[in-house]
Structure 1
Amino acid sequence: MKIFFRRIHLYLGIAAGLIIMITCLTGAILVYEKELMKLFNHSRYYVAVQPNRLSTDSLINRLKTQEPKASVQSIKIYNNPESTVEIAFTAQKGKGNKAAAGAGEKGKAGQTEGTRLTAFMNPYTGEVAEIYNHRESFFYWVMDVHRWMLGGKIGKMVVGVATIFFLIIIITGIVLWWPRNKQILKQRLKIKADAGFKRLNHDYHVVLGFYSSIFLFVLAFTGLAWSFEWFNKGIYTVTRSTMERAKPLKSAASIDSLNRIGTEAALSIVHSLAPTAHYYNISLPKQAKDAYAISLLSQQAEHESASDTYFVDAYKGNLLGKQLYTDKNLGQRVRATFKPVHVASIYGHTSKIVGVIVCLLGTFFPASGIIMWWNRTRKKRKTA
């Protein structure tokens, strides 16, 4: 029976090995994306604290003075007084102000119509620290490789199928690892450090493969949610939950947008209810009846995706309601947990360190497996 599992393990490894290696390597890089971005682009994310902060409305107006044709979608404010404010906007037809291009990873000026950009602004001086295009960054390229192999829908399917193969490889690997007796068990739980290359390669593959198998399985399993819609639907089917999200609340009446309250007024209402949140992300109304939607991450949040959303009437300035993470159905909460689990941020730096090590091992295993197969093939040829 093990011969059957060994062949599946081998053939799927050969078929998907390269994709698995690339996916794991890029995954290891992406684990610390946020930390590395802040490390190498400090002026983009941090400013010196000053006595007085400008209002969110003032920051938006200052951006529009510099980028007259900018269409602002949202503004994100952090509770950390040293953090810049992030304004997400779409660059309309015409060139941007070249002075806005910061000295960070890539300051983008002269953007074309429809380009989604983020302005990082000093909340005390109103200065634009940098206008940033994430799609032209190094980490977006790494994500493109990780999720789509630079191949769009076809690449997405290739990664998805390779991930399914990887799950089968892990399962068959555990079957092949399973020892017949205690003596073999001891051999498969430790590496013979003083052995030659062939034995070391074998031990690294077998022993480290066993220790990392559960983590690799979880990372691969959660990754399927970004490759297949049927997998997402399956989450809601298994949890007996509805996939439909709660609809955003609307303002009471359709009134001239000139009478609309500002973002600062909307923020103050929500801030009074949740004053210690990590951040507040204000989505501006798109239509006349739309309300301000303010998402925040509370100090008590289970993970980075466990955000709450408050709705403020854009004209009367009253709280219309809230959609809390804890009020979501089981399927929605399970699906929301997939991202922090997949990117290994669920338990902070501890899980991130584990995530990087496991991903690097995932990069190594296909190569070590091929070496094992090659050595076994050469041995058979010599004895033939």
Structure 2
Amino acid sequence: MKIRKLVGKVHLWLGFASGLLVLFLGITGCMLAYQREIEYATQPYHFVAHQNEEKLPPSKLREIADAQLPGKMAHSVSYEQGKASKVVYFSFEPEYYFTVFLNPYTGDVIKVKDMDKDFFRILIMGHYYLWLPPEVGQPIVASGTLVFVLMLLTGLILWWPKNKAARKQRFSVKWGARWRRVNYDMHNVLGFYMTWVAIFIGLTGLIMGFQWFSKSVYWAASGGESLVEFYEPHSDPAQQVSHTDMPAMDRVWLKMLEEHQQVGGSLEVHVPHDDEASIETAINPDTDTYWRGDYRYFDQYTLEEIPVTHSFGRFSEASLADKIIRMNYDIHVGAIGGIVGKTIAFFASLIAASLPVTGFAIWWGRRKNKETKKPERVRKLKVN
């Protein structure tokens, strides 16, 4: 009982320390669960009708998009059946993030979008960084996530029934009782059911938030191997050879096009940002998730493929530990389970957001009870 009381104190003070942050992350997590579905339903510029014509090469689409954003450096060009091609412009210094949507068959510009003004982009920046500078907000969110995981574990200990008579009360909410009892049951019962999903949301958040945690997970999953940090392989300007007038990124695109047509999904070609950069391509057969993407890197002069040793290389060469790291984001948002997984993640986030509120109500109610009982004890002492 002393241990249980100590765990209760730890649970209470952890709740005070992280309650507002958990409430915020839970609500924003709910709003982000169906991001893609909402965007596709409300933003028609994502779609282009299929045509029996050849699509324009990435260099041509980039040239058209460059005219819309003079002075900006293109990052990538993407293709997907039935969707508009996207030319993404992204930079940290100077900071900007734009997406140009184009018809891949005609090159017509459908929309130029400043992603820093996009609703979901703003929401993500709050969810990841609390709208603070990343070096400030990210450690706060990661630390709050760690506290949340500890609260889930201490909550399970407190939930565990003391005896057989109390066991039934731990699995159902007594909706017909007084509001305090309903509130108590919602905190305990819904918290118990939510824990088995939220623990994965929390742990995947820790993988994104702490390098030491992601390295530890990789080490355990790989049987003792170290996680290789992502890096971009370099091209060798000294190996430059003469080609046709076709730009290197177009030649790589043609090289990958046949495989893309066989696999389906999306094809993305990155623009080399300097003379030593490689040309990265990504073929994702399932555009609802990211973990199955096949990432390839090519020398921009010789067009030879450059092998990599980090997790984001060829999917066929990815180890179990690599796939776990790749799956991390898809697990975090529930996309790994399709629309059902997103729905489960939505309700888990919603219940997680409610726990600080119901927990505070439990604490406040007990505190008020102690205050009302104290004068009664004082009166009895005076009478005696």
Query: Contact (CA 8 Å) 1:236, 1:331: kept in 2 or not?
Result: yes
Q: Which amino acid aligns with 2:227?
A: M
Tell me the residue number matched to 1:52.
53
Q: In structure 2, how many angstroms separate the alpha carbons of the residues matched to 1:228 and 1:170?
A: 19
Tell me the residue number matched to 1:160.
142
Deviation at 1:295, TM superposition (A): 0.9
Change (3 A) 1:182 1:321: same
CA root-mean-square deviation: 2.7
Tell me the residue number matched to 1:340.
330
The correspondence for 2:285, drawn from 271, 280, 298, is 298
Query: Contact (CA 8 Å) 1:249, 1:321: kept in 2 or not?
Result: no
- Asked whether 1:124 is paired with 2:105, we answer yes
Q: Which amino acid aligns with 1:350?
A: V
Q: Which amino acid aligns with 2:42?
A: F
The correspondence for 1:283, drawn from 238, 255, 270, is 270
Tell me the residue number matched to 2:296.
310
- Asked whether 1:253 is paired with 2:239, we answer yes
Q: In structure 2, how many angstroms separate the alpha carbons of the residues matched to 1:311 and 1:264?
A: 14
Deviation at 1:289, TM superposition (A): 5.2
Change (3 A) 1:280 1:32: same
* Map 1:10-89 → 2, pairs under 5 A: 10-43=12-45, 45-56=46-57, 57-78=59-80, 80=81, 82-89=82-89
Tell me the residue number matched to 1:100.
none
Q: In structure 2, how many angstroms separate the alpha carbons of the residues matched to 1:124 and 1:228?
A: 43
Tell me the residue number matched to 2:127.
146
Deviation at 1:271, TM superposition (A): 2.4
Question: How many corresponding residue pairs?
Answer: 360
> What residue ranges of structure 1 are gaps of 5+ in the alignment?
92-111
How high is the TM-score relative to the length of structure 1?
Answer: 0.85
Deviation at 1:319, TM superposition (A): 5.5
The correspondence for 1:227, drawn from 204, 209, 224, is 209
Tell me the residue number matched to 2:369.
379
Tell me the residue number matched to 2:227.
243
> What residue ranges of structure 2 are gaps of 5+ in the alignment?
375-384
Deviation at 1:114, TM superposition (A): 5.3
Change (3 A) 1:242 1:370: same
Deviation at 1:185, TM superposition (A): 1.0
Deviation at 1:302, TM superposition (A): 11
Q: Which amino acid aligns with 1:383?
A: K
Partner of 2:335: helix, strand, or coil? coil
The worse-fitting range, judged by mean Cα deviation, of 329-338 and 135-144 is: 329-338
Tell me the residue number matched to 1:108.
none
More helix per residue: 2
Partner of 1:116: helix, strand, or coil? strand
Partner of 1:347: helix, strand, or coil? helix
Q: Which amino acid aligns with 1:272?
A: E
Deviation at 1:30, TM superposition (A): 1.2
Partner of 1:48: helix, strand, or coil? coil
Tell me the residue number matched to 2:379.
none
Partner of 2:263: helix, strand, or coil? coil
Report Cα offsets for 1:179-202 as digits up to 9, x if no partner.
Answer: 133321111111112111111111
Q: In structure 1, how many angstroms separate the alpha carbons of the residues matched to 2:354 and 2:78?
A: 40
Query: Contact (CA 8 Å) 1:28, 1:356: kept in 2 or not?
Result: yes
Partner of 1:195: helix, strand, or coil? coil
Give the share of equivalent positions with the same residue, in percent: 23
